[in-house]
Amino acid sequence: MSHPQPNDSTAIAIENCRSDFPVLQQEINGQPLVFLDSAASAQQPTTVIDAVAEYQRHDHANVHRGVHTLSHRATDAYEGARDKIQAFIHAASRREIVLTSGTTESINLVAQSYCRPRLGPGNKILISHLEHHSNIVPWQLVCEQTGAELVVTPMDDVGQLDLEAFKQLLSTEVQIVSIGHVSNALGTINPIKDIIAQAHAQNIPVLIDGAQGVPHLPIDVQDLGCDFYAFSAHKMFGPTGVGVLYGRESLLEDMPPYQGGGDMILEVSFEGTTYNDLPHKFEAGTPNISGVVGMGAAIDYLQSIGVSRIAQYEHDLLEYLAQQLASVDGIRLIGTAANKASVQSFLLDDIHPHDLGTILDHQGIAIRTGHHCAMPVMDYFGISGTARASLALYNNVDDVDRLVAGLDKAKQIFA
Amino acid sequence: MNAVDINGRDELRELYRELILDHARSPRHFGKLADATHTAEGINPLCGDKLRLYLRLDDQEKIDAASFEGSGCAISVASASVMIDTVIGLDLSLALEYFRAVTGRMTNPGQDHGDNLDLGKIMAFDGVREFPSRIKCATLAWHALNCAIHNQRTPASTE
């Protein structure tokens, strides 16, 4: 994929963003922090931190419950964030935005509420070899419960899905396809629009695990055509413990509640309960109100810069990262798909990733090491784990240079 | 904690001492022990380190042979290698005394641990105490030893 070079004003504007993130303004082990672990959890800008604090300080009460002023304010803040999320991913209706505790709960919700009643022996669920454990285990659970079978689309040596094999695996037995938008371990951007179109041609619904997609790529769920899209606030500069399940309204309408409790009901008696309307039917109990407010602020922040500009900036920086790493003697890049976002996994000589992580941390550089909750991907490459650098809009060329210099120190120690 | 502290001591070099690097590069007693009487698995779920420890006990409950296999970081591999060097020839109760001394030194360094024992090469791991996230790497093999001696069926875990 060829990309135009960003003009200077774009690059400078994004590089200025670094000062919006207070956590980055510190030294770790005597060195300015280089944070290259945003794929695990991204840092929060001041606007998000302040929005959460302001809500707690002035507006907090339970939502959808009281007639008093604070309850109205809290409800407005919570529902206002839902509207921002709807606009951000271009959903047709706010009824399609279910607020959850994160991507993991969103996927479990679909597995238990959409799939479980429909599945039985002979049915299949189609995922891929690239998936994060949270897009594997919920399906294994529902397979155990129903006798359905989990089927896996294979990948190749650079970390791309085998689309020919995918086509072959699509059959009338498949009840749902669930594929990650961007691989957290390798950074591969999957061709989800194509995947969705092929599944829909056989009337198979598709869930996209967008945890690593939303922070790096503009999302339009109607253009993609997906039936479900799951993502988390904390990967996109918002708080932890909050996420979204986008679901096509006609599908959500037919699904039974996932959990029972307050707020998801219209009327309760001991004879029976009438469930609330969408999306509240799926939001039992008091939600993470301040977290949702923070997620709304994170969306405001992303939109103030522009997700397309962020994508372009990160794309160029990822190319620089891959080039610089490739120039290090003894490096092995893991995951070299043509179309990637944010992430570069690697190994250096025969140094264990955990040792690399400690040596880099000692120089103020934070990377992720290990299996990245994607053990099948590690098994494919015959390794126990990788070192992984992941980029966000606040990273820059200096961060990459510090990483490469940090690897030199590891080579010296293990020479 | 600075990269090089005020005494000019490089904490990374303290962690990755030559003895540790040597045992990590060329682990002793590596491989399966065909006639093992005791075995246990050690797993560090955080980083995916995994090893299997084999012990062979003689009639007097003395460890007369031991080995390990698996993969892990330099600290965990070196620790397994040094541990086996240490415990071969010991009876079980003394091996357990070493287990308690090593894990005690790592987690409660202020107190006395194993003052009556010849810790020898084990002291090379003292630098790990400055790196809390790596203590589990240094103690994984020792936890597997404890499990093997007690014939526990579930793997030793650092969690």
Q: What is d(CA A241, CA A10) in angstroms, rounded to the nearest whole number? A: 32
Hey, of B13, B15, B73, which one would you mutate to test binding to chain A, going by the most A CBs within 10 A of its CB? B73
Mean per-residue pLDDT of chain B: 87
Pairing of strands A31-32, A27-28: antiparallel
Residue whose structure tokens are 């669930």 = A178
The number of CA neighbours under 13 Å toward the Cβ of A309 is: 17
Please say whether the beta carbons of A139 and A150 come within 8 A: yes
Query: Residue A165 contacts by C-beta under 8 Å, 6 or more apart in sequence?
Result: A153, A154
The CATH-assigned architecture of domain A49-303 is 3-Layer(aba) Sandwich (3.40)
- A257-266: long-range contacts, CB 8 A cutoff, minimum separation 24: A257/A113, A257/A281, A257/A282, A257/A284, A258/A108, A258/A109, A258/A112, A258/A113, A258/A282, A258/A284, A259/A284, A259/A285, A260/A284, A261/A285, A262/A286, A263/A63, A263/A64, A263/A65, A263/A287
Q: Is the pLDDT of residue B13 over 50?
A: yes
Check residue A3 and give its pLDDT: 42
| pLDDT per residue as tens digits for the range A112-158 | 999 999 999 999 999 999 999 999 999 999 999 999 999 999 999 99
Name the residues of A annotated as catalytic: 373
Tell me whether residues B48 and A359 touch, CB distance under 8 A: no
User: How many other C-beta atoms are found inside a 10 Å radius of the C-beta of residue A323?
Assistant: 10
A231: phi then psi, degrees, rounded to nearest 5: -155, 170
Highest mean pLDDT out of A288-292, B6-10, B37-41, B90-94: A288-292
Show me where the domains of chain A are located. 8-32+307-413, 49-303
| pLDDT per residue as tens digits for the range A98-111 | 999 999 999 999 99
Which residue from A358, A384, A414 is facing B21, i.e. has the nearest CB? A414
| Beta strands in chain B, from DSSP E residues, in sequence order | 38-44, 49-57, 63-71, 156-157
Check residue A406 and give its pLDDT: 97
List helix spans (H) across A228-352.
249-254, 289-305, 307-326
Of A10, A5, A6, A14, residue with least CA distance to A396? A14
Check residue A2 and give its pLDDT: 40
Tell me if chain A has a CB within 8 Å of the CB of B74: yes
Tell me whether residues B131 and A370 touch, CB distance under 8 A: no
The number of residues in chain A equals 415
Check residue A272 and give its pLDDT: 81
CA B119 to chain centre: 12
Check residue B6 and give its pLDDT: 47
CATH number at residue B99: 3.90.1010.10
Q: What angle do CA B40, B46, B51 make, to 5 degrees?
A: 25
B7 pLDDT band, cuts 50/70/90, is very low
What is the number of CB-based contacts under 8 A between chain A and chain B? 56
Q: Is the pLDDT of residue B152 over 80?
A: no
Residue whose structure tokens are 């941390």 = A361
Residue B33's domain comprises 11-157
Q: Is the pLDDT of residue B4 over 60?
A: no
Check residue B46 and give its pLDDT: 72
| pLDDT per residue as tens digits for the range B79-115 | 999 999 999 999 999 999 999 999 998 888 777 777 7
| Beta strands in A89-236, from DSSP E residues, in sequence order | 97-100, 124-128, 149-153, 174-180, 206-209, 228-232
Check residue B110 and give its pLDDT: 74
Q: Is the pLDDT of residue B40 over 50?
A: yes
Which residues in chain A have Cβ-Cβ distances shorter than 8 Å to B48?
370-371, 375, 378, 384-385
Please say whether the beta carbons of A226 and A95 come within 8 A: no
Q: Is the pLDDT of residue B3 over 60?
A: no
Instruction: For domain A8-32+307-413, give the CATH number.
Output: 3.90.1150.10
Which residues in chain B have Cβ-Cβ distances shorter than 8 Å to A351?
74
In a domain, B90, yes or no: yes
The radius of gyration computed from the CA coordinates of chain A, to the nearest angstrom, equals: 22
Structure token digits, residue A210: 């967008």
Tell me whether residues A370 and B48 touch, CB distance under 8 A: yes
Q: What is the rounded average pLDDT of the residues B127-150?
A: 93
In a domain, B2, yes or no: no
- What residues pair up with B44 in beta bridges, in sequence order? B49
User: Which parts of chain A register pLDDT below 50?
Assistant: 1-9, 11-12
Helices B74-87 and A353-361, packing angle to 10 deg:
110
Of A358, A64, A102, residue with least CA distance to A211? A102
Name which residue leads in pLDDT, B150 or A124.
A124
ipTM: 0.85
Pairing of strands A124-128, A149-153: parallel
A49-303 has the same fold as A8-32+307-413:
no
The number of CA neighbours under 13 Å toward the Cβ of A287 is: 31
In a domain, B40, yes or no: yes
Q: What is d(CA A64, CA B33) in angstroms, rounded to the nearest whole number? A: 65
Hey, of A358, A359, A386, A411, which one would you mutate to test binding to chain B, going by the most B CBs within 10 A of its CB? A358
Determine the 3-state secondary structure of B130 from DSSP. helix
Which residues in chain A have Cβ-Cβ distances shorter than 8 Å to B137?
354
Determine the 3-state secondary structure of A157 from DSSP. coil
Min Cα distance B46 → chain A (Å) is 7
In a domain, B5, yes or no: no
Tell me whether residues A354 and B134 touch, CB distance under 8 A: yes
In a domain, B83, yes or no: yes
Tell me whether residues B11 and A354 touch, CB distance under 8 A: no
Check residue B158 and give its pLDDT: 61
Q: What is d(CA B3, CA B130) in angstroms, rounded to the nearest whole number? A: 12
In a domain, B153, yes or no: yes
